[in-house]
Chain A
Amino acid sequence: MAAVVVLLIALAAIGGLYSAVAPTGQAKADETAQSLTITEGQRLYSVGCASCHGTGGQGTSDGPSLVGVGAAAVDFQVATGRMPAATSQGAQIPKKKNIYSQAEIDQLAAYIASLGTGPSVPTEEQYDPDGADIAKGGELFRTNCAQCHNFTGKGGALTHGKFAPDLEGVDPKHIYEAMQTGPQNMPSFPDTTLSEKNKKDIIAYLDAVNSEDTVEPGGLGLGGLGPVSEGLFAWIFGLGALIAVAVWVAARTAKAKKS
């Protein structure tokens, strides 16, 4: 698998290099910036994506059709490193280091968006948690998300090795895009059923309860996993400490050395 990843990175690097040195600019000066971006995106696409998703994004047996998935899906998948994926997958494509620059991702997204209409990349105003209703976000999170991602977004198990990832440290933009587009097995929550405001509230809730600065009033959060980690802690550190103390209490005091 590592070899495949290296190959992909190499391909992408060549693609990037190609797009950097390719004769552009002057000859296409009359074209709009938009179509230029799309062309660049298409070029990136043919190098990094087409082998699985088909030359025109129509999909193959190795990857689904990308017609109509929209720019938001591309931005999420590529920026979180899930795409391009290694060819031999486990149960689920994991997030990994992203190999594209944001500019390249935008080009790819523009190209895919040109294939069919779909959700566009959200603007910062849409996902910025400032001023949103945290408590409402919590209620929405418990209704729509906690069943897979846990109370505070620590993640959870799905069938046959699939899983819902931990949401700590995930860019609000990507959370927004994930809700909108439903990557992999996650269902989507389009604006028609989970409004823009709802999404913003959920992001604000996650920001409050699952970030580096979240205050755990009682001390160690123990992973936020509930009674299993609490039980382990009680056995190992609670009972463990008490047994250590009991050994001290019951032990005989050292005897004076015989002279």
Chain B
Amino acid sequence: MSTTKNSDARSSREKAPAGERVADWADGRLGIYSLAKANMRKIFPDHWSFMLGEVCMYSFIIIILTGVYLTLFFHPSMNEVEYHGSYIPLQGQLMSEAFNSTMHISFDVRGGLLIRQIHHWAALIFLAGMFVHMMRVFFTGAFRKPREVNWLFGFLLFVLGMFTGFTGYSLPDDLLSGTGVRFMEGAVLSVPVVGTYLSFFLFGGEFPGGDFVARFYSVHVLLLPGIMLGLMVAHLILVFYHKHTQFAGPGKTNNNVVGMPLLPVYMAKAGGFFFLVFGVIAVISAIATINPIWSMGPYRPDQVSTGAQPDWYMGFSEGLIRVMPGWEINFWGHTLVLGVFIPLMIFPLVLVAIAVYPFIESWVTGDKREHHILDRPRNVPTRTAFGVAWITWYMVLLIGGGNDLWATHFHLSINAITWFVRIAFFVAPVLAFIVTKRICLGLQRRDKDKVLHGRESGIIKRLPHGEFIEVHEPLSQEALHTLTAHEQYEPAMIGATVDENGVERKVKGTEKLRAKLSKSYYGEDSQIPKPTAEEYKEITSGHGHH
């Protein structure tokens, strides 16, 4: 497995090839041989869902490359200029330099539009990729010890990605993004006590002022991507350090990792995948418009267009703000703008709900062991149901965020959709939870049947006495093992309430909660007991199948 080079064995250096001499030079200064020893033939398991993280990493790299190019032409300034570029329908219009230079990139720099579109499409795909990657990690339980910290790194990347996106699409100072910035002003103003001051500091005075583009610019190109780059490197280092998780299967244990070596297979596959991702995004950017600022026109605070939405990853917050009733409380000369402030507070809560989940689960199980074998979602019904409920919640809010387009495209009343979302916000996650849990249990039951009675072969046999039966083929040893490899916990029990001296102790609320949660996770209603060796023997040694 290792490719250690024994330099002593090679008595002199004169015969060493040039490549080795360069490597020797670097090793003497950087210690690369020791580094390569552990990593050059590192094993990565093959599964398509393990490549979702790569989609994110590569689109992030693409965003950085194209972003640097865009900075060469973009002017982050709000000085007013008159437009005299190639696009006729804006001739002579007053606009900020930011908008003007984005128009210049789009119409007068050759390839500028392509790079702009790649940058923006890659950003949408980056966030979508992170979302799906996060869900993959969630539903397979890959966040369990020792990977909780990496889960948090990933979560932070997702949140920072949202804000990098927001500051990015606000830069061209067009009518759509300006409307979004205006919303941001309103949201900041709603913060009790300090909101007005924060808003004045953010915009350098009253909205829109002449500062926010330049300020967003340094946040967008330096501060946030800098932090993200650091987090991403840490995220990757931890993936290497922990070694990748794998699904249960023959030969796969909690103490090994089965797959292909980094050199050469993963070098070629992962390296090639970068080009594939870049290629797909470039083709999309050749055929589909994104953020056509020339159609939207320059920002003016007294103009607006219907269909004013943020990019998709901010859509759930748009939903929150749209469906909130207009509560406002006035007291002692002050105003508490609950209609804006409550959604502003639920916004982080929606995200935090999923971020803290791993810690809740590990508290309930009290499990301190390392887990490297992934769960099949059906085998952890409560977690899976929670995840689906969360996604449902998120989707309901996305529907709320696009309520006007739902109305026009499905001929519905916008008020009815808003009311639907208001109710579904509370009801839909609960329903999703119940339904998902039931589906998971059904699937577990099916797995159990398969193990005990074999696979339905589709062959119908007629017995001597005339009865028709379907022949069930026994499963292979590989399949039997894979379907029974998962662990099943027993629910926690509150310990003795009376100590050895007969003194009754008080059972704390947290203890009761923990036992209750544990029961909902691992109680009778929450998992189908795995087939035992006895059950299996009884059935297979008996009449075979019936």
A–B direct contact (CB < 8 Å)? yes
Give me the interface of A with B, judged by CB distance under 8 Å. 90-91, 134-139, 142-143, 146-152, 154-161, 163-164, 205, 208-209, 216-222, 224-235, 237-239, 241-243, 245-247, 249-252
Show 16 residue pairs from A and B whose CB-CB distance is below 8 angstroms, ordered by the A residue. A135-B83, A139-B93, A146-B305, A146-B306, A150-B306, A161-B411, A164-B306, A209-B295, A224-B292, A228-B307, A230-B124, A231-B312, A238-B125, A238-B281, A239-B132, A245-B280
In-complex Cβ contact of A249 among B276, B290, B309, B414 (8 A): B276
- Bound state CA distance, A224 and B293, in angstroms? 11
CB distance B290 to A218 under 8 Å? yes
* CB of A168 to closest CB in B, whole Å: 13
Contact indicator per residue, chain B 80-98, by CB within 8 Å of chain A (1) or not (0): 0001000011111100000
- Evaluate contact between A231 and B413: CB separation under 8 angstroms: no
User: How far apart are the CA atoms of A200 and B416 in the complex, in Å?
Assistant: 38
Interface of B is mostly: helix
Distance in Å from the Cβ of A49 to the closest Cβ of chain B? 27
Chain B neighbourhood of A238, CB < 8 A: 121, 124-125, 128, 280-281, 284
In the complex, which residues of chain A have a beta carbon less than 8 angstroms from the beta carbon of B129?
Answer: 239, 242
Rounded to whole angstroms, the CA-CA distance of A194 and B495 in the bound complex is 80
The residue in B93, B121, B408, B415 that gathers the most chain A C-beta atoms within 10 A of its C-beta is: B408
A62 to B484, CA, bound (A): 71
Nearest-neighbor residue (CB-CB) of B59 within chain A = A242
Determine whether the beta carbon of A134 is less than 8 Å from that of B89.
yes
In the complex, what distance in Å separates the CA atom of A164 from the CA atom of B306?
10
Within 8 A of A (CB), among B261-310: 269, 272-273, 276-277, 280-281, 284-292, 294-297, 300, 302-310
Bound Cα distance from A177 to B300, whole angstroms: 28
Report the separation of the CA atoms of residues A105 and B258 in the bound assembly, to the nearest whole angstrom. 79
Does B167 make an interface contact (CB < 8 A)? no
**Residues of the A chain whose Cβ atoms lie less than 8 Å from the Cβ of B295:** 151-152, 209, 224
CB within 8 Å for A134 and B286 given contacts A139-B297, A152-B295, A163-B408: no
Q: Output the least CB separation between A246 and chain B (Å).
A: 4
- Asked if B57 is at the interface of the complex by the 8 Å CB criterion, the answer is no
| Residue contact B287 to A250, C-beta cutoff 8 Å | no
Bound complex: CA A146 to CA B306 (Å): 6
Contacts of B515 in A (CB 8 A): none
Which of A149, A160, A228, A242 is the one whose CB lies under 8 Å from B402? A228
- Contact partner of A246 (CB less than 8 A), chosen from B52, B90, B290, B296, is B52
Choose one: B88, B93, B303, B416; the contact of A143 (CB below 8 Å): B303
Cβ-closest chain B residue relative to A147: B304
Mark B431-444 against chain A: 1 for CB-CB distance below 8 A, else 0: 00000000000000
Among B42-50, B145-153, B332-340, B486-494, the stretch in contact with A? B42-50
Residue B117 interfacial (CB < 8 Å): yes
B106 in the interface, Cβ–Cβ < 8 Å?
yes
- Which residues of B are found within 8 Å of A142, using beta-carbon distances? 175, 297, 300, 303, 305
CB of B296 within 8 A of CB of A151, answer yes
Closest 8 CB pairs of A and B: A231-B312, A156-B306, A218-B289, A234-B124, A161-B413, A157-B407, A157-B404, A246-B51
With A135-B88, A156-B408 as given contacts, are A239 and B307 in contact (CB-CB < 8 Å)?
no
**Which residue of the partner chain B has the closest CB to A146?**
B305
Assembled-state Cα–Cα distance A252/B92 (Å): 59
| Chain A hits for B47, CB < 8 A | 250
Q: Evaluate contact between B414 and A230: CB separation under 8 angstroms.
A: no
The minimal Cβ–Cβ distance linking B165 to chain A, given in whole angstroms, is: 11
Instruction: Decide: B90 and A242 in contact? CB cutoff 8 A.
Output: no
- B427 contacts the other chain (CB 8 A): no
The answer to whether B307 and A219 have CB atoms under 8 Å apart is no
Residues of B with C-beta under 8 A to A152: 295
Q: Does B227 have its Cβ within 8 Å of any Cβ on chain A?
A: no
B55 interface neighbour in A157, A220, A227, A242, Cβ under 8 Å: A242
Docked pose: A159 CA to B304 CA in angstroms: 17
Q: Given A134-B89, A135-B92, A217-B107, A143–B302 Cβ distance below 8 Å?
A: yes
Select from chain A the residue with minimum beta-carbon distance to B280.
A241
Q: Which residues of A have CB within 8 Å of B407?
A: 157, 161, 163
**Closest residue on chain B to residue A220 by CB atoms:** B288
User: Is B469 an interface residue when CB atoms closer than 8 A count as contact?
Assistant: no
Determine if B415 and A135 form an interchain contact, defined as CB atoms under 8 angstroms apart: no
CB distance B309 to A226 under 8 Å?
yes
Nearest Cβ in chain B — how far from A221, in angstroms? 6
Contact of A225 among B50, B269, B307, B313 (CB under 8 A): B307
13 new A-B contacts, CB < 8 A, other than A238-B121, A246-B49, are A138-B89, A150-B305, A152-B295, A160-B414, A228-B309, A230-B290, A230-B311, A231-B311, A238-B124, A239-B55, A246-B54, A249-B276, A250-B51
Given A156-B408, A216-B289, A218-B290, does the pair A231, B124 have CB atoms closer than 8 Å?
yes
**Contact A242 B303, CB 8 Å, known A217-B289, A250-B48:** no
Is B408 a contact of A155 with CB atoms below 8 Å?
yes
Contact, CB under 8 Å: A151 / B297: yes
A219 touches B413 (CB 8 A): no
* Residues of chain B within 8 A of A147, CB atoms compared: 303-306
Q: Are A134 and B88 in contact (CB under 8 A)?
A: yes
Chain B positions within 8 Å of A138 at CB level: 89-90, 93, 297
Name the contact of A151 in the complex, choosing from B55, B88, B175, B284 (C-beta under 8 A).
Answer: B175
A166 CB to nearest chain B CB (Å): 9
Closest partner residue, chain A, to B169 (CB atom): A227
Q: Count chain B CB atoms within 10 A of each CB in A137, A230, A234 and give the residue with the most.
A: A234
In the complex, are the beta carbons of B311 and A246 less than 8 A apart? no
Residues of B within 8 Å of A249, CB to CB, are 48, 51, 269, 272-273, 276
- A235→B91 CA distance, assembly (Å): 35
| Residues in chain A near residue B36, CB distance under 8 A | none
B61, CB-defined interface residue at 8 Å:
no
Q: A230 to B121, alpha carbons, bound, how many Å?
A: 9
- Least Cβ–Cβ distance between B68 and chain A, in angstroms: 21
> With A160-B415, A163-B408, A209-B295 as given contacts, are A135 and B305 in contact (CB-CB < 8 Å)?
no
**Taking the nearest CB of chain A, how far is it from the CB of B100, in angstroms?**
14
A25 and B284 alpha carbons, distance in the complex (Å): 66
Q: Compute how far the CA of A6 lies from the CA of B125 in the bound complex, rounded to whole angstroms.
A: 50
Q: Are A157 and B306 in contact (CB under 8 A)?
A: yes
Are A243 and B48 within 8 A (Cβ)?
A: yes
| A217 contacts B306, C-beta separation under 8 Å | no
User: Do A227 and B272 contact each other (CB < 8 Å), given the known contacts A161-B411, A239-B128, A242-B277?
Assistant: no
| Contact among A139, A151, A250 with B305 in the assembled complex (CB-CB below 8 Å) | A151
Q: Contact at A234–B289, with CB atoms within 8 Å?
A: no
Asked if A220 contacts B292 (CB within 8 A), the reply is: no
Smallest CB–CB gap between A113 and chain B, Å? 33
Q: Is the CB of A157 within 8 A of B113?
A: no
- Which residue of the partner chain A has the closest CB to B300? A142
Q: Which residue of chain A has its CB nearest to the CB of B83?
A: A135
Is B315 engaged at the interface, CB distance under 8 Å to the other chain?
yes
Does residue B176 face the partner (Cβ distance < 8 Å to A)? yes
Tell whether B485 is near chain A: CB-to-CB under 8 Å. no
Q: Which residues of A contact B315 (CB under 8 A)?
A: 227-228, 231
Name the B residues within 8 Å of A252 (CB-CB). Answer: 46
Q: Which residues of A contact B294 (CB under 8 A)?
A: 217
A158: B residues at CB distance < 8 A: 414
